[in-house]
Amino acid sequence: MPSAAYVLLCALLVLAFVTRKVRAYYGLRQFGGHWSAGWSRLWLLKTQNSGEMHKRFAALNRKHGSTARVGPRMLITSDPDLLRRMNAVRSPFTRGYWYTALKLHPERDNITSVIDERIHADLRARMAPGYSGRENVHMEQDVDEKLLGLFDLIDSKYVARPEEGIFRTMDLSRTTSFFTLDVISKIAFGETFGFLDKDEDPYGYLANLKQFLPAIIWFGVYTELTNILKAPLIKGALPKSTDKRGLGRVMGFARDRVQERFGQKPIVRQDMLGSFITHGLSQAQLESETLTQITAGSDSTASALRVTLHFVSTSPPILDRLLAEAKAAIAAGKISRPVIQDAEARQLPYLQACIKEGLRIYPPVTGLMAKQVPAGGAMIEVDGVEKFAAGGTQIGWNSWGMMHDPEIFGEDCEIFRPERWLSKDGSEKEKARVTRMNETVTLNFGYGRFGCLGRGVATMELNKAVIETLLRFNLQPCSLAKPFDEMVVGFTVHENMNFIVTERLSAEKIKESQMNGGADVDAGALPGSYES
């Protein structure tokens, strides 16, 4: 028979557990959500592991309000005003424990995973000049070089020539990932992984990442599990820089590039890594940060690029209008050849509308990016009603729900329609409508003190790659019924996005255009959509 002391101890432990659960439940009792979310994190885990977390979160906010409950101490919001409030420079909200799941290096935090506000702010200040391009003078040139490398690959291996009996298909999800991975490695290290040159994943990185991202979800839901990563048995199973394949091999690549910048005869380059060193990041910090650069800086951009190309190329009126805008700009000498410059692309209204619509229709990042309510709690407005959120509550963002809000983007928000970004007239009401959409879509890149440092690089890649790809190639999807496979796990993993690619503008015409400053490229030199 157990002793009375033992029974009393068990009873006290049960009471403490129940009290904690009840306190957590009542801390967010005013917020609607799934019936089990007030007591358990299992619904949140199941939702995020479903592969369609974006759609389930959007449905939750539609049913239970713009800010709803997803766990005992967690909310999710599709309210852009609340997101801006939490991310504002002087906001009392801080980075939530959710971010600890993004610790990609087994021993060191990075700018994404660190939750100490002072450390995070210091890292941002040190790294911002390298991302901005002010201290990376070859950034745009490097992007151009990799973009032309992408076109060489497509032209040599994937262009179908039916008249010659050559039938090929190209997986756009694969080639866009190769492009963005080589871009980020080039501008960060001055050396590429070689995805485009080899037309393969030389490290098995993409396959390993597909396995790794769902694991991050577990740690994001049960953040206390991050403590087990320090255990020798678990630590030994994690990716290591000595691995021959996968994420560990990429860690090794990053480590080698960092080590080249230190020692007796360090390599000195004006690139991101060089800028980070100039601003005092240590060798250990750099090994962790460069791994984050590679993962965060490539997957989200690749997702936005391929989705935009997919929607434009499958909408002939949109494609025609976009090409007409580019043709007119080329004929007027407003677009550089062989590759449009970033500043020039920003002056093309319809191109910018297509890019914004791509970011809106398929937001690249679906992770919760949860912020934490200050100790005293906070009043949260939910559809006009003030509700109290207890201190310590985490509030994640629902990117899909926010970018598909009919009150902001119109009743046709489920349709890819770039025209929504173009003002119909000069009225104040119309200006306010477009301004509100712009302010919302830019939240894809964060806001305030949590804004994405890589936004400039990502938009440069999109500004160039979208229009230049469509100027050169016709993209015909192999299946409109099922154009691609996808898995949404914080990022959107696309596979089997297969297209038939035919030539639109020949290599000879591109060279001729370059020699003549682009002035000879008129409507006749650029056939309409789906003409090869």
Helix, strand, coil % over all residues of the chain, rounded to 5: 55, 10, 35
The per-residue pLDDT for range 24-57, each reduced to its tens digit, is 677 799 999 999 999 999 999 999 999 999 999 9
3 state DSSP class of 494: strand
Predicted TM-score (pTM) of the model is 0.90
Q: What confidence score (pLDDT) does residue 517 get? A: 53
20 within domain boundaries? no
The residue to which tokens 């190329």 are assigned: 313
Decide if pLDDT at 73 tops 90.
yes
Asked if residue 2 is part of any domain, the answer here is no
DSSP assignment letter at 392: T
Q: Note whether residue 23 is domain-resident.
A: no
How far, in Å, CA of 136 to CA of 248, rounded?
A: 27
Sequence letter at residue 2 = P
Summarize the confidence of residues 394-402 as an average pLDDT.
97
Kindly compute the dihedral angle of the four CA atoms of residues 309, 315, 319, 322, in this order, to the nearest 10 degrees. -90
In 369-519, the DSSP E strands lie at 371-372, 378-382, 385-389, 394-397, 473-477, 485-489, 491-495, 498-503
pLDDT in tens, 413-472: 999 999 999 988 888 999 999 999 999 999 999 999 999 999 999 999 999 999 999 999
Whether the per-residue pLDDT at 317 is higher than 50: the answer is yes
Question: Residues at the annotated binding site?
Answer: 452
Contact 125, 271 (CB under 8 A): no
Residue-level pLDDT at 429: 92
pLDDT at 324: 97
pLDDT of residue 36: 94
pLDDT in tens, 374-383: 999 999 999 9
- Whether 147 has a pLDDT exceeding 90, the answer reads yes
Residue 172's CATH number: 1.10.630.10
What is the pLDDT averaged over residues 241-251?
85
Kindly give, in sequence order, each residue whose CB lies less than 8 Å from that of residue 59, ignoring residues fewer than 6 positions away. none
DSSP 66: S
Structure token digits, residue 147: 């973009």
Write down the pLDDT at residue 528: 32
Would you tell me how many other CB atoms lie within 10 Å of the CB of residue 164?
7
Residue 24 placed within a domain: no
> Quick one: pLDDT at residue 521?
45
State the pLDDT at residue 531.
30
8 within some domain:
no
Give the whole-angstrom CA distance, residue 532 versus residue 421: 30
Burial class (CB in 10 A: 0-12, 13-18, 19+), 407: exposed
Annotated binding site for heme: 452
248 pLDDT more than 50:
yes
Question: Is 233 a residue whose pLDDT tops 50?
Answer: yes
Cβ neighbours of residue 369 under 8 Å, at least 6 residues apart?
98, 99, 396, 397, 446, 450
Kindly indicate the confidence band of residue 167, based on its pLDDT and cuts at 50, 70 and 90: confident
Does residue 4 sit within a domain?
Answer: no
Query: Per-residue confidence at 484, pLDDT binned at 50, 70, 90?
Result: very high
Q: For residue 315, what pLDDT is reported? A: 96
The total number of structural domains in the chain stands at: 1
Q: Once rounded to an integer, what is the mean pLDDT over residues 177-201?
A: 92
Q: Quick one: which of 330, 350, 332, 365 has its CA closest to 466?
A: 350
Please count the other Cβ atoms lying within 10 Å of the Cβ belonging to residue 506: 12
Q: How confident is the model at residue 318 (pLDDT cuts 50, 70, 90)?
A: very high
Structural domain contains residue 25: no
Confidence class of residue 255 from pLDDT cuts 50, 70 and 90? confident
Mean pLDDT to the nearest integer, 187-194: 88
| Bigger pLDDT: 531 vs 156 | 156
Q: What integer best gives the mean pLDDT of the chain?
A: 88
β-pairing, 394-397 with 74-77? parallel
pLDDT for the residue numbered 202? 86
* pLDDT score recorded for residue 109: 86
pLDDT category of residue 285 using cuts at 50, 70 and 90 = confident
- What is the domain extent for residue 139? 31-525
Report CA-CA distances (Å) from 155 to 158, 331, 337, 499, 506: 6, 24, 18, 14, 9
Percent of residues, the chain, with pLDDT higher than 70: 88
Residue 389 belongs to a domain: yes
